[in-house]
Amino acid sequence: GAVVSQHPSWVICKSGTSVKIECRSLDFQATTMFWYRQFPKQSLMLMATSNEGSKATYEQGVEKDKFLINHASLTLSTLTVTSAHPEDSSFYICSAPFPDSYEQYFGPGTRLTVT
Partner 1 sequence: AQKITQTQPGMFVQEKEAVTLDCTYDTSDPSYGLFWYKQPSSGEMIFLIYQGSYDQQNATEGRYSLNFQKARKSANLVISASQLGDSAMYFCAMREANTGGFKTIFGAGTRLFVKA
User: Which residues of the chain form contacts with partner 1 (CB under 8 A)?
Assistant: 32, 34, 38, 42-46, 49, 91, 93, 95, 97, 102-106, 108-109, 111
Least Å from the CB of residue 106 to partner 1 = 4
Judged by CB, which is closer to partner 1: 82, or 89? 89
Least Å from the CB of residue 110 to partner 1 = 9
Considering only CA atoms, which of 83, 88, 80 is closest in space to residue 23?
80
Judged by CB, which is closer to partner 1: 46, or 76? 46
Least Å from the CB of residue 71 to partner 1 = 14
DSSP secondary-structure letter at 59?
Answer: P
Q: Other CB atoms closer than 10 Å to residue 51's CB: what's the count?
A: 15
Judged by CB, which is closer to partner 1: 74, or 82? 74
CA distances from residue 66 to 13, 18, 61, 77, 98 in whole angstroms, order as listed:
15, 9, 11, 16, 28
Task: Give the separation between CA 50 and CA 33, rounded to whole angstroms.
Answer: 5
